Structure 1
Amino acid sequence: MIRINKNESPLRPLTDSQLATIIQEASFNFYPDDEYERFKAAYANYYGYNAEQVIAGNGSDELIQKLMLIMPEGPALTLNPDFFMYQAYAAQVNRPIEFVESEDDLTFNLEQILQRIEEVQPAFFIMSNPHNPSGKQYGTTFLKAIADKMNSIGGYFVIDEAYLDFGEAYKFDMQPHVLQMRTLSKAFGIAGLRLGVLIGTPETIQHIQSIEHPYPLNTLTLHIALYMFEHPEKTKQFIDHQRQLALRLRNLFNDYVADIMVVFPSYTNFVLTKGAAAQNLGQYIQSHGFLPRLYDEPEMNDYVRYSIATDSQLDDLEEIIKTWRSQYDLSKNT
């Protein structure tokens, strides 16, 4: 079964020989003090920040959990639907969490968000952008309005940018109450190594570091990540290849089935579909060797999500979709 249900990269960013070299150079017998500082500097340089603005953890999940622990007392506020782990980590630390409900098309009304902030008075508001699961990317005007509103009530605004490397780059003025969260699990293709990044002002990052472990990341993860950021041209080529795969995935669904189901525009490495035909297609694809994301939640049970795959796998997926479509059309015409 080919897994296309977790928004992972289908590709490895490094060759066996590159990995062998990295492992040989890694000093496993020492704590990774220097490597952690080098990684923060390399990451910051890649994206145009300062190293003092960066903190890293074992995946974005650990960073979300840290935020749930260290943010001021009060509820968290997020979108519904959004990344389900926001709710899970809030529950782990007994932090109340409130929601802004989506429109029928999974978009969110800015005025409704601002109204909910006023009603809930959250300690912090967290949302993914580009949004998971819809794939929509919200612009700077939308984000700035939320940031300004959170600032007015003395709260924090956390933007989870896990899929930003598949979307459109944007500039957002860094303020003490704004944090941007990233991951190397998607576009960088190292989900199994667990590496997430949080970006903020030096003062805010220093505050979050107060609950950081002495050595938050292992030597191997840091050496692999360092290699990627110290070879930026190769890394950019790797990301560009995945962006091409994402475009091809979108085109498959837009070309063959967008007239009979909702195919959401996407600025991510996945495509979301909706409707009775979408459910039928998802089950058909699963029966032919690919595992898409089929949702258990009642409010999402007519949605199906597909992550990117390799070129050859997309060739196979295209044939499966074409076959399903011909059978679907025949059933409607008889």
Structure 2
Amino acid sequence: MIRINKNESPLKPLSNEQLATIIRQAAFNLYPDDEYERFKQAYAEYHQILPDQVIAGNGSDELIQKLMLIMPEGPALTLNPDFFMYQAYAQQVARPIEFVSSNPDLTFALEDILNRIEEVQPSFFIMSNPHNPSGVQYSTTFLTAIADKMHAVGGYFIIDEAYLDFGEPYDIKMQPHIIQMRTLSKAFGIAGLRLGVLIGTTDTIQLIQRIEHPYPLNTITLHIAIYMFEHQAMIRDFVKHQRQLAHKLKAMFNELVSDVMVVYPSATNFVLTKGATAQSLGRYIKAHGYLPRLYDEPEMADYVRYSIATDEQLDELYTLIKNWRSNYDSQQNTQYS
């Protein structure tokens, strides 16, 4: 079964030879005293920010948990639906959490968000952009309005940009109450190594560092990440290939089935579909060796999501979708003949 249900990278950013060399050179018998700072320096240069604006952890999940712990007292506010771990980590640490409900098409009206911020007076508001699960990327104007509102109520605004490398870059003014969250699990292809990053002002990063572990990342992960970001041309080419795979995935759904099911426009490495025909296609694809995301949550029961795969696998997926569509059209013609 080919797994296209977890928004992972189908590719590795490094060859086996490169990986073996990195591991041989890593002194994993010693604590990584200098490697963490070296990674932050390389990552900051890649994104043209300062190393003091960066803090890293064992995946974005750990960083979400840290934020739930370190943010000022008061409720968190998020979108519904959004990344389910916001709610899970809030419950773990007994942080109250409130929600902004989506429109039927999974979009969110800015006015609804601003009104909920006024009602809840949250300690912080966290949302994914591009949005998970819809794939929609919200504009700088949209985000700035939320940031201004959170500043007015004295709270933080956390933008989870896990999929931004597949979307369009934007420039939001960095302020002490704004935190951007990134991951190396998606476009950078090292989900199994668990590496997430927070970006903020130096003062805000220092606040979060109060609960940072002495050695927040293991030596092997650090050495691999250092190599990647110290070879910028290589890693930019890798991300470019990932974006091409995402474009290919979206193009096939738009070409073959967008007229018989809802296919959400996506700025991510996945495509979300909705409707009875979407369910039919999802079951067909699963029966033929590809595992899409079929949701257990009742509110997402009508949806099916597909992540990127290799070029060869996407070619096979294209053929599967085309065959399903031919069968679907034949059934429709028979029904109405």
TM over 0.5: yes
Runs of 4+ in 1 over 4 A off after TM superposition: none
Q: What's the offset of the Cα at 1:193?
A: 0.1
Give the letter for the 1:97 counterpart. I
Q: TM-score, normalised by structure 2?
A: 0.99
SS for the counterpart of 1:99 is strand
Query: Are 1:131 and 2:131 matched, yes or no?
Result: yes
Q: What's the offset of the Cα at 1:33?
A: 1.6
Give the letter for the 1:260 counterpart. V
SS for the counterpart of 2:5 is coil
SS for the counterpart of 1:304 is strand
Residue in 2 aligned with 1:219? Answer: 219
Q: TM-score, normalised by structure 1?
A: 0.99
Residue in 1 aligned with 2:254? Answer: 254
**Alignment length (residue pairs):** 334
Residue in 2 aligned with 1:38? Answer: 38
Q: What's the offset of the Cα at 1:29?
A: 1.6
Query: Are 1:309 and 2:294 matched, yes or no?
Result: no
Could you give the per-residue CA deviations for residues 53-101 of structure 1, whole angstroms, max 9, x where no partner exists? 0000000000000000010111000001100000000000001100001
Could you give the per-residue CA deviations for residues 242-297 of structure 1, whole angstroms, max 9, x where no partner exists? 10000000011000000000000000000000010000000110000000000111
Q: Which aligned pairs between 1:171-320 and structure 2 lie closer than 5 A?
A: 171-320=171-320
Residue in 2 aligned with 1:104? Answer: 104
Could you give the per-residue CA deviations for residues 89-131 of structure 1, whole angstroms, max 9, x where no partner exists? 0000001100001111111000000000000000000000000
Residue in 2 aligned with 1:55? Answer: 55
Q: Which aligned pairs between 1:72-91 and structure 2 lie closer than 5 A?
A: 72-91=72-91
d(CA) in 1 for partners of 2:52, 2:241: 31
Give the letter for the 1:137 counterpart. Q
d(CA) in 2 for partners of 1:35, 1:139: 36
SS for the counterpart of 1:27 is coil
Root-mean-square deviation (CA), in Å? 0.5
d(CA) in 1 for partners of 2:244, 2:144: 30
d(CA) in 2 for partners of 1:315, 1:298: 32
Give the letter for the 2:237 counterpart. Q
| Seq. identity, % | 76
d(CA) in 1 for partners of 2:326, 2:170: 41
d(CA) in 2 for partners of 1:203, 1:314: 45
Q: What's the offset of the Cα at 1:298?
A: 1.0
Unaligned runs of 5+ in 2: none
d(CA) in 1 for partners of 2:316, 2:148: 47
SS for the counterpart of 1:333 is helix
Q: What's the offset of the Cα at 1:228?
A: 0.4
Unaligned runs of 5+ in 1: none
d(CA) in 2 for partners of 1:41, 1:170: 22
Could you give the per-residue CA deviations for residues 309-332 of structure 1, whole angstroms, max 9, x where no partner exists? 001101110111111111111111
